[in-house]
Amino acid sequence: MYLAISYTFQNVLLGTTLLGVVGGVLGCFALLRKQSLLGDALAHASLPGVCLAFLWMGTKDTYSFLIGAIFTGVLGSLFVLGVVRGTRIKEDSAIGIVLSVFFGVGVVLLTWIEKNHQSGNQSGLSHILYGQAATLMERDVWIFVIAGVIILGTIFLFYKELKLLCFDREYGKSLGYPMAALEILVTCLLVITVVIGLQTVGVILIIASLITPAACARQWTDRFSWMLLLAGLIGGLSSVAGTFVSEQFHRIPTGPTIVLVSSSVLIISILFAPQRGILWSWLQSASFRRRIREENLLKDIYGWVEKRNDWSRWPSLSNLMGVRGQSGIKIKKIARPLEHGGLLLVTEKAMKLTEKGLEEAERIVRKHRIWELYLARRLDLPPDHVHRDAEAMEHALSDEALAEFEELLGYPKFDPHGQPIPARRGSSSKAESKATGGV
């Protein structure tokens, strides 16, 4: 008894894992070619084919099911292409139409079979909807192995050409590669994957085995080759994990469990992946906001002293609180990293810019005033309209861009409000002259 179960489980595990790997790798092509929905239409369109095959043969037979599924699946995708080429209907609508019509026909046939055929209930036909990995036999696994080798082998062999197809079809054609033929090749591989996935994951969820691992992989890498490998890995591991989980809790179906596992990986990927993840961009913008606050504080201190034209007196905390209406606690919080970075000297009575801090403050003020001048001179904005815009630009303008603006404006000395634009730091130490009270 125990042996029998573990043998069945072995088949199930092998079958789902293979499907996971193949689906993951192939899904990258569907994802990058923006044909995810076409795959879904194809899967749904295969349902009537399976039913027709059953009606034709009268028994449940894997091979005839596969042929039936391929037949209507391909027919469905040809319909989509035909509608797009021959009418004004756009691809997404065409997919919606074909998907629902074929699936509707399939469900009608399925219901009719289950009512009218004695063997209908035992036919396992309804498994096609949600999949039932537990019914995988050794023979099915062999089909999976053969299909997997064909699909992965083809991708390996045509790696360069398929990459060209995904990235720049027209260009590939101009180089002499038969892009239409390669397109058909990819679609065929997609059909095979969908069809062998029917029994395991089912018509409705098979698209998840294709797209989810690919979408996960895209989050983590910027290389095509790595994306393929990673998607295969994520697909395979999700299948292993999902199959074990569903084995542990007997009543949970395998296919949906696998989909849940890979979807969890996707959620993690969307949240935490570097560069593309939500957390990453949130951290980026948080650090940008922090930098803005720091730069503003440096600028405020500079401005306070500049206004009084006395480079020996520095503002106190309460002086600075008046500038932007920030609380003392907040200013202290902003000042702390600046103090650590050696830009700021905080004493009981005053916040003093160090040599380094002064340099940084001048850099910011320069950006602000040069941008103001640019707006006023080049775009003829009145001087009282330019401040707010410059307030944002001073944090975004790169040093290279600043240098070009300066050149464009002829190295100006004063901003539109008549305030001096701090000179670029040269050999003479201006800070010293300022510190002694001169300007």
Partner 1 sequence: MKPAPILSQPSMDPSNQELPKSENHPPAIEVHDLTAAYGTQPVLWDVDLEIPEGSLVAIVGPNGAGKSTLLKAVLGLIQPLTGWVKIFGEEYSKKRSWVGYVPQRETVDWDFPTTALDVVTMGLYGRLGWFRLPRRSHKEQALACLDKLGVAHLAHRQISQLSGGQQQRVFLARALAQDARLYLMDEPFAGVDVKTEKAVIELLKQLREEGRTVIAVHHDLQTVNDYFDHVVLLNLRLVASGPVSTTFTDENLNKTYGGRLTALTQAAEALLSKQPDKRN
| CA within 13 Å, CB half, 420 | 9
What's the chain's Rg over C-alpha atoms?
33
Closest contact distance (angstroms) between CB of 7 and partner 1 is 40
Whether the Cβ atoms of residue 234 and residue 265 lie closer than 8 Å to each other: yes
DSSP line for 359-414: HHHHHHHHHHHHHHHHHHHHS---GGGSHHHHHHHHHH--HHHHHHHHHHHTS-SB
Q: Return the number of the residue (86 or 325) whose C-beta is nearest partner 1.
A: 86
Closest separation between CB of residue 165 and partner 1, Å?
11
3-state DSSP: the chain helix, strand, coil percent, rounded to 5?
Answer: 75, 0, 20
Amino acid code (one letter) for 172: G
Name 6's Cβ contacts closer than 8 Å, sequence gap at least 6. none
Site residues (CB under 8 A) for partner 1? 32, 34, 157-161, 163-164, 166-168, 170-177, 218, 221-224, 226-227
Whichever of 173 and 395 has its CB closer to partner 1, that residue is: 173
Q: Which is nearer to partner 1, 63 or 171 (CB)?
A: 171
What's the min distance (Å) between Cβ of 212 and partner 1? 17
CB of 170 to partner 1, least distance (A): 6
401 vs 435, beta carbon nearer partner 1: 401
- Of 161 and 406, nearer to partner 1 (C-beta) is 161
Strand partners, 268: none
Indicate the residue among 163 and 425 with the shorter CB distance to partner 1. Answer: 163
Whole-angstrom distance, CA of residue 131 vs CA of residue 148: 19
SS (H, E, C) 280-342: HHHHHHHHHHHHHHHHHHHHHHHHHHHHHCCCCCCCCHHHHHHHHCCCHHHHHHHHHHHHHCC
User: How far apart are CB 164 and partner 1 at their closest, in Å?
Assistant: 6
Give least dist CB 176 to partner 1, A. 5
Of the two residues 178 and 322, which places its CB atom closer to partner 1 in the complex?
178
State the Cα–Cα distance between residues 48 and 64, nearest whole angstrom. Answer: 13
- To partner 1, the closest distance from the beta carbon of 118 in angstroms equals 52
Least distance (Å) from partner 1 to the CB of residue 159?
Answer: 7
Query: Is the CB of 145 or the CB of 175 nearer to partner 1?
Result: 175
Q: Of 199, 188, 192, whose CA–CA distance to 50 is shortest?
A: 199
Q: To which residue do tokens 């994957």 refer?
A: 193
C-alpha closest to that of 299 among 349, 346, 353, 347: 353
Distances (CA, A) of 35 to 28, 32, 60, 81, 345: 10, 8, 31, 12, 59
Closer residue to partner 1 (CB): 100 or 285: 285
Between 163 and 377, name the residue whose CB sits nearer to partner 1: 163
Of 429, 370, 434, the C-alpha closest to 405 is 370
Give the nearest distance from C-beta 223 to partner 1 in angstroms: 6
The CB-of-139 to partner 1 minimum distance in angstroms stands at 33
